[in-house]
């Protein structure tokens, strides 16, 4: 079946593609070279796919072409239409597509081999197909649920029920058992059940798909950065698994690179919340909750409200300002107004920076992307470790739509759900202005004593409206 391009030729082309992927990823680790890196990686993909199409005698080019056109059109439309605020769910959705495709390819190969050999499948292919099928299907449905949560189609809160871990374990057991049966196919039953190797793969896919839903549905919105990163790693592993099924080096190398990238991001996200992966996947966040009485005790009489006019006056006398963005800024689409404010401050010789917590938002680096879209220069975005020591020398901190990532309880209360999580120590600054719509708790479900601090002023209202009003006031007085 190999015609135009020999086996060796194709392997060499895959080697070139692998080099392009690696170089592309390397370039993507610095903002200066990142655009080039992405293009390099895309070139690798083009080379690999084009060579594969040429090398294999395609049974029906029309079908293949139709698939490429349909998929390409869907991908393009989604990518062009997406708002930056919707980026997390779109990346989640694409992720699911990759995982699903891997599971289907493994399934198609099992069907092929099954029909060719009367149901017998080589053990090593069976192992790889089962792994690829399980991981791919979990990635597919898990990513769709995650995207649904981020898009507000599925509830953002964690859905917990008694015995959920038993249900998950049972589903995994069914999937693994189906995979094992497909591989082992005991001789005793040969002839009778051997042919059912293929149906057992479908059972595996169904169980794994349901497992993906149950796994993600029980995780709350605040943990989505971790989930998205983990599913990204899974989709890579699924592709690598498919590579083992098909004996294809390009799939193994590329899939593994993605798996590594996803795992690294997952670990970074977990460290940023001081939580273990098991805790994110199987434990709750904010389950503890706090009674209204306790909340009243913290906030009652200690909250100082402020207005855009007053905030403008504060900014007017400041020489250093740090803006701390959170998911609330994304929801309110306030990034452009905030960016304009930072630009105005910089023009008036104010030292202005954005202090960005690693898990602010719904995807690793979500805030950075939003701010970049609003033309905030890269060097004005500062990471947690860099910005924390500077708060003591900061006159005004403007917290917009962030809550848990500035909660001092993380440092002071060992029993708090967020205990030990690295937070932005904004209270060390001269004045803290917190913009929120209400005093409602963040995703952790706990109150924030910061709001009751003497140097903290609350600016209640929609993030975009408030930021625009502050910008308006600032322009008027300058």
Site for another protein in 34-63 (CB under 8 A): 34-35, 37-39, 41-42, 44-45, 48-49, 52-53, 56-60, 63
Q: Give the number of other CB atoms < 10 A from CB of residue 414.
A: 8
Residue carrying structure tokens 């084009």 = 50
The question of whether 404 is a catalytic residue gets the answer yes
C-alpha–C-alpha distance, residues 274 and 290, integer Å: 21
Minimum distance from CB of 207 to another protein (Å)? Answer: 18
- Contacting another protein within 65-84 (CB under 8 A): 66-68, 70-72, 74-76, 78-80, 82, 84
- Contacting another protein within 304-323 (CB under 8 A): none
Minimum distance from CB of 96 to another protein (Å)? Answer: 8
Name the one range near another protein by CB under 8 A: 31-39, 155-163, 282-290, 305-313: 31-39
Total residues at interface with another protein (CB under 8 A): 116
Tokens representing residue 74 in the block? 């869907």
The full 3-state SS of 283-317, as one line of letters, equals CCCCCCCCCHHHHHHHHCCCCCECCHHHHHHHHHH
The single residue of 7, 349, 351, 404 carrying the catalytic annotation is 404
Mark residues 341-360: x for contact with another protein by CB under 8 A, - for none: ---------------x-x--
Contact status: 325 vs another protein (CB under 8 A): no
Of 195, 299, 344, 380, the one binding another protein by CB under 8 A: 380
Minimum distance from CB of 361 to another protein (Å)? Answer: 9
Minimum distance from CB of 443 to another protein (Å)? Answer: 19
φ and ψ at residue 30, rounded to 5 degrees: -140, 135
> Could you tell me if 284 and 219 are in contact, meaning their C-beta atoms sit under 8 angstroms apart?
no
Tokens representing residue 35 in the block? 């655009």
- Contacting another protein within 111-150 (CB under 8 A): 111-112, 115-116, 124
Contact status: 452 vs another protein (CB under 8 A): no
Tokens representing residue 274 in the block? 């001081």
C-alpha–C-alpha distance, residues 465 and 468, integer Å: 5
Residue carrying structure tokens 């170089």 = 23
Closest CA to 398 of 314, 472, 473: 314
Minimum distance from CB of 407 to another protein (Å)? Answer: 20
Angle at the Cα of 354 (from 353 to 356), degrees rounded to 5? 145
79 vs 189, beta carbon nearer another protein:
79
Contact status: 15 vs another protein (CB under 8 A): no
Tokens representing residue 376 in the block? 């905030």
Residues forming the active site: 404
């Amino acid at each position: 079946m190999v015609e135009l391009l020999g086996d060796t030729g194709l392997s060499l082309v895959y080697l070139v593609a692998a080099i392009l992927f690696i170089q592309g990823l390397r370039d993507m680790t610095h903002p200066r070279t990142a655009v080039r890196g992405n293009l390099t990686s895309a070139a690798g993909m083009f080379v690999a796919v084009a060579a594969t199409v040429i090398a294999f005698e395609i049974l029906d080019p029309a079908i293949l072409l139709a698939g490429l056109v349909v998929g390409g059109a869907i991908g393009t439309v989604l990518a062009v239409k997406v708002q930056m605020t919707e980026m997390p769910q779109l990346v989640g959705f694409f992720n699911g597509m990759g995982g699903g495709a891997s599971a289907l390819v493994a399934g198609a190969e099992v069907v092929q081999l099954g029909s060719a050999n009367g149901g017998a499948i080589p053990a090593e292919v069976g192992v790889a197909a089962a792994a690829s099928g399980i991981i791919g299907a979990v990635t597919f449905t898990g990513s769709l649920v995650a995207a649904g949560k981020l898009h507000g189609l599925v509830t953002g809160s964690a859905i917990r029920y008694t015995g959920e871990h038993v249900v998950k374990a049972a589903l995994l057991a069914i999937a693994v058992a189906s995979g094992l049966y497909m591989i082992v196919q005991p001789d005793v039953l040969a002839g009778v059940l051997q042919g059912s190797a293929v149906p057992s793969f479908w059972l595996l896919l169904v169980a794994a798909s349901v497992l993906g839903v149950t796994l993600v549905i029980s995780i709350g919105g605040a943990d989505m950065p971790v989930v998205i990163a983990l599913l990204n790693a899974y989709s890579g592993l699924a592709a690598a698994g498919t590579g083992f099924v098909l004996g294809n080096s390009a799939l193994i190398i590329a899939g593994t690179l993605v798996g590594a990238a996803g795992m690294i991001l997952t670990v970074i996200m977990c460290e940023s919340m001081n939580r273990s992966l098991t805790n994110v996947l199987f434990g709750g966040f904010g389950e503890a909750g706090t009674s209204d009485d306790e909340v009243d005790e913290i906030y009652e009489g200690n909250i100082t409200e402020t207005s855009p006019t007053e905030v403008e006056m504060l900014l007017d006398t400041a020489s250093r300002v740090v803006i701390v963005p959170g998911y609330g800024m994304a929801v309110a689409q306030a990034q452009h107004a905030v960016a304009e404010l930072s630009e105005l401050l910089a023009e008036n010789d104010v030292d202005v920076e954005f202090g960005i917590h690693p898990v602010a938002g719904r995807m690793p680096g979500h805030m950075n992307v939003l701010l970049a879209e609003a033309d905030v220069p890269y060097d004005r975005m500062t990471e947690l470790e860099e910005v924390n020591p500077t708060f003591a020398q900061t006159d005004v901190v403007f917290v917009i739509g962030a809550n848990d990532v500035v909660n001092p309880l993380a440092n002071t209360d060992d029993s708090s759900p967020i205990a030990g999580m690295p937070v932005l120590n904004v209270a060390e600054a001269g004045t803290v202005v917190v913009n929120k719509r209400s005093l409602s708790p963040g995703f952790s479900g706990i109150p924030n004593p910061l709001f009751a601090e003497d140097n903290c002023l609350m600016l209640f209202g929609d993030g975009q409206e408030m930021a625009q009003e502050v910008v308006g006031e600032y322009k008027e007085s300058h």
